[in-house]
Amino acid sequence: MEIFVKDLFYLSVKNKKWCEEKIIERLNNWEFERVALLDRLLLILAISEIFFIDDVPPKVSISEAIEIAKQYSTEESPGFINGVLDNIYKSIPNEVNSSKV
């Protein structure tokens, strides 16, 4: 578990800007800086887990981020996080195809 946490942390820091771009692309009429800090961090961790860690199914990453948001963030956060991550998850085939070009 400790190795997994270190790997996820490293990947999240290494790919932070890329993950932030994925989030910003999905914010309609909302500034990234206005998103709650915890929500931004949860999204970055979940996106890193979805794209860069093969051992965890994407749906599990999404579910974990939502559960943490329910426990520690605002009332609106779980729905917001679910919406952003679900949109990103549905774009995975396009992301993979565009990265191969």
The mean pLDDT value for 72-91 works out to: 96
Where along the chain do its domains lie?
A: 2-100
Please give the DSSP secondary-structure letter assigned to residue 10: H
pTM over 0.85: yes
Position 81 pLDDT exceeds 50: yes
Residues 6+ apart with CB under 8 A from 74: 36, 39
Beta carbons of 31 and 20 less than 8 angstroms apart: no
CATH of domain 2-100: 1.10.940.10
- 13-72, pLDDT tens digit by residue? 999 999 999 999 999 888 999 999 999 999 999 999 999 999 999 999 999 999 999 999
Instruction: Write down the H helix ranges in the chain.
Output: 2-14, 16-24, 37-52, 58-72, 77-90, 92-100
